[in-house]
Amino acid sequence: MQAQKDKDTIQRFKEDMIRRFWRFKKLRFPADDPCFEEARPRGLRPPVFHEADAESNLLIDPVLTEVERLRLIGMIPVLKRHQWFRSMSSSQALTQTVFGSLAVMGRLGLLAGLETEDGERPFQPDAHGAAHLALEVEVDCLGEPRPTSKDVAYRGLNPVTAECKLTEEGVGACSRPTLNQNDFRYCDGSYTRQKRRQERCSLTEIGVQYWLLVPRLFRIDAGIDHSICPLNRSYQLVRNVLATCLSPSGKILAGARVVLLHDERNPAFRPAGDGWRAYQQVRSMLLDPRMLQRTSWQRLAQLLRSEERTTWLADALGAKYGFFESASGIGGGH
């Protein structure tokens, strides 16, 4: 009963966001604009740009120079765009809009004021006042056949990774339990030896190093069975923590942080939601819970309003995504 109620709440949130996107399209684009796949909404899907017009999904300050505009568009190469980057509900397009704009405008210093729920401000420049930011940075130190990417990789006083969500229903679970049960790679969601494999984890069997590294950062015994795999539902967050808080040689990086950036209105990331539970689970398992922090797009949008140079961006985010609405103003909640 509660599970169905939670699903309904998330569905209402998504539907409200989709209606907002169609209102934004009507406000900002001509009715017959050919850059969209459809001129009118069909069912419950957000506006989607044609592949050739995908960059139109970015909010680009009109005062940027042509060099700055092209740099912003190029911060995520076309081949690294997600399948639905062209959809207005794409969290990747939102991430590129916000962090890419700050990078090309030379306003990364504004991030120093972004506070997490713990009261930390992890995005601090180095001792010389400098910081570097890159998007979709591939991680090559975990032995993955398909390397994970950091949505945002910030390097200043300490390394920070931002994992960015918008309408997603969770943080990203392990895909092995979703495979066909006849597939040798299939896992039933437990950390046990299955299908005559030598290793307890299907991924360890092919050389992925999660379980070799997990004990360095987590209160998890990799040498015993677990009836429910501790990494199953929190898979993507754990990968990010391992990739951010350990050096390629396995040394713990003091001060490194992973920040989960989410929409405050999304029921999945409010108390009792799947994303919230996964976040809390990872924090409870970490030897140093401060390695994982949480903040919201709403806090970041308010920060953008605090400086004249980024006011246009804040207003545009408000128009497209509604970040200045109250948390109860869309989709309800738990």
Q: Considering the domain boundaries, does residue 93 fall inside one?
A: yes
pLDDT tens digits, one per residue of 180-195: 999 999 999 999 999 9
CB atoms within 10 A of CB 73: 17
Enter the tokens of residue 302. 């308010």
Q: Considering the domain boundaries, does residue 73 fall inside one?
A: yes
**Average pLDDT value for residue range 196-220:** 97
Q: How far apart are CA 21 and CA 317, in angstroms?
A: 11
Q: Considering the domain boundaries, does residue 30 fall inside one?
A: yes
pLDDT over 90 at 202, yes or no: yes
Q: Considering the domain boundaries, does residue 214 fall inside one?
A: no
pLDDT the model gives residue 148 = 87
If you write DSSP's letter for every residue of 201-231 in order, what string do you get?
A: STTGGGT--HHHHHHHHBS--TTS-BSS-TT
pLDDT over 80 at 280, yes or no: yes
Percent of the chain at pLDDT > 90 equals 89
Distance of CA 193 to the CA centre of its chain: 31
pLDDT the model gives residue 333 = 42
pLDDT over 50 at 330, yes or no: yes
Q: Considering the domain boundaries, does residue 272 fall inside one?
A: yes
Q: Considering the domain boundaries, does residue 212 fall inside one?
A: no
Total domains present in the chain: 1
pLDDT the model gives residue 249 = 87
CB 120 within 8 A of CB 157: no
- Residue 311: domain span: 2-173+233-329
pLDDT tens digits, one per residue of 110-146: 999 999 999 999 999 999 999 999 999 999 999 999 8
**Average pLDDT value for residue range 238-260:** 95
Q: Considering the domain boundaries, does residue 122 fall inside one?
A: yes
Q: Considering the domain boundaries, does residue 149 fall inside one?
A: yes
pLDDT the model gives residue 334 = 39
pLDDT over 50 at 293, yes or no: yes
pLDDT the model gives residue 146 = 87
